[in-house]
Chains A and B, each alone.
Chain A
Amino acid sequence: MGLLDPTTTAGYDSQEIHALAPRVDELNGKRIGLYDNGKMAAEPVLEVLHGKLETQYPDSTFATHAKEVKQDVQDPEKLAAVTKWAREEELDVCIGAIGDCGSCTKFLTWGMQAVEEAGVPTVGLVDEGFELDWQTNAIERGWPLRYNTDAVRSEVRDHDLIAERLTPETLDAIEDELTRPLTDKEQGIAPRDR
Chain B
Amino acid sequence: MGEFKMKKDTIILGIETSCDETAAAVVKNGTEIISNVVASQIESHKRFGGVVPEIASRHHVEQMTVVLEDAINEADVAWDEIDAIAVTEGPGLVGALLVGVNAAKALAFAKQKPLIGVHHIAGHIYANRLEKEFAFPLLALIVSGGHTELILMKEHGHYELIGQTRDDAAGEAYDKVARMLKLPYPGGPQIDRLAAKGSANIHFPRAWLEDDSFDFSFSGLKSAVINKMHNAAQRGETLEPADIAASFQESVIEVLTAKTYRAAAMYEVKQVIVAGGVAANRGLRDKLKQQFINTAIPLHFPALNLCTDNAAMIAAAGTILYEQGRRDGLDLNASAKLTLK
Are A and B genuine complex partners?
Answer: no
Interface of B with A (CB < 8 Å)?
none
